[in-house]
Structure 1
Amino acid sequence: MKRVVGIGGVFFKAKDPKALGAWYRDHLGFDLSEWGGAVFEANGSNNEAKTAWSLFPGDSTYFAPSTQPFMINYRVDDLLALLAALREEGCDVDAKVDDSEYGKFGWVMDPEGNRVELWEPPKA
């Protein structure tokens, strides 16, 4: 079974997400969307080639239970099978799975307490 097939996104906390986003826009050329982040496309415009970049408020609990100010999102082909395999391997897998128009999302904690987001893009 394939596990991770790419990076789906990079997310980190900021004291002032709007101001920091503006800095990235003005100085590094990020094309910010209305939701405050950017999407980078490589090798076309399909979901498998997109990488999101987003800032979260400093008090966001989205990365909890991790206390780190960042979270990496990895693309996977079969989220449910991977989560089952990770559980069998003794990993700390979140019981919640989010299924939305953006795809399926699941989470696991790495051994150093970093929350890792796993994303299966929606099928075309």
Structure 2
Amino acid sequence: MAKVIGLGGIFFKARDPKALASWYATHLGLSIEGWGGTRFDEDEQRAGYTAWCPFAEDTTYFAPSTQPYMINYRVDDLDALLAQLRAAGVQVDDRVEDSEYGRFGWIMDPEGTRIELWQPPVAG
């Protein structure tokens, strides 16, 4: 059975993402990268990391959800998990994105929250 293997990231809407990221850098020591967020490497033996990133208040990246946040989970087999979820009647986005950062798919939970599923690229 394909499954979640860790938290991939927390993404949330902010009135001023750059100012908020700067506040977190100044007061909590987060190292903000050029893409506007930070990443936490937990385990060098396992692919992936946890990302933290504020998005513009008017972002459509979380759509169709109206929630002010989106959670990203690391998964072991994106295609198998998406097939399992479809078979279970979960609302699954038809789009799957392949990039240098890995593979991404999206679902909606019963509360209307968009969930991003991320299969990191194979390390090596």
The alignment's TM-score, normalised by the length of structure 1, stands at 0.95
Cross-structure match for 1:74: 73
Query: Which aligned runs of 4 or more in structure 1 are off by greater than 2 angstroms?
Result: 43-48
**Cα RMSD (Å):** 1.1
Q: Does 1:37 align with 2:37?
A: yes
Q: What percentage of residue pairs aligned between the two structures are identical?
A: 62
Measured against aligned partners, the alpha-carbon deviations of 1:67-95 in whole angstroms (never above 9, x if no partner) come to 01100100001000000000000000000
1:82 & 1:54 partners in 2: Cα distance? 25
Q: Residue 25 of structure 1: SS of its match in structure 2?
A: helix
The alignment's TM-score, normalised by the length of structure 2, stands at 0.95
1:84 & 1:16 partners in 2: Cα distance? 38
1:73 & 1:43 partners in 2: Cα distance? 17
Task: Give the Å deviation of 1:45.
Answer: 7.4
Unaligned runs of 5+ in 2: none
Number of residue pairs the alignment of both structures matches: 123
Unaligned runs of 5+ in 1: none
